[in-house]
Amino acid sequence: MMEKIKALFVKYKEIILYVFFGGLTTVVNFVVYLGLKNLLGVPMVASNITAWAVSVLFAYVTNKLYVFESRDMTPRAIVRELVSFVAARLFSGVVDTGMLVVLVDFCHMNDVIVKIMAQVVVVILNYIFSKLWIFKKGKEE
């Protein structure tokens, strides 16, 4: 039984780690967002943008080192990956913020429910970008 579990982990290691660290990234995003918005009274969009920036930095480090195991630490590789990573996250951040604005401000939905829905979309987009564009290049060079 343990051998089967180990074999499954090895086979799906990247996805398992992506989901794990993506979950932690989501926690970071929510803690920063809710802390700024609810505890400090920062406006919704400003709270969301700040939460996005903090979670992008956390996600870059964990994705680079643990998920996609990109070990190239040359300045060139780090800059290329980081710029690509931030560009992809900017796109998904716009999707996240856009969903909040449209669904909360115009459709009058609960911001926490919309934030959860947006995170599902964001996680899927971010995995596709990371797998097919950002960290794949680092393995080819």
The per-residue pLDDT for 87 is 95
Q: Tell me which DSSP letter residue 68 carries.
A: S
Return the closest-CA partner of residue 93 out of 129, 131, 134: 129
- Which tokens go with 23? 């979950």
Within 13 A of 126's CA, how many CA atoms are on the CB side?
31
Residues of the chain with pLDDT under 50: 138-141
Integer Cα distance of 92 and 130 in angstroms: 12
Q: What is the pTM of this model?
A: 0.72
pLDDT at 121: 92
Residues 6+ apart with CB under 8 A from 91: 125, 129
Question: Within the chain, what is the greatest distance between any pair of CA atoms?
Answer: 52
70 SS3 class: coil
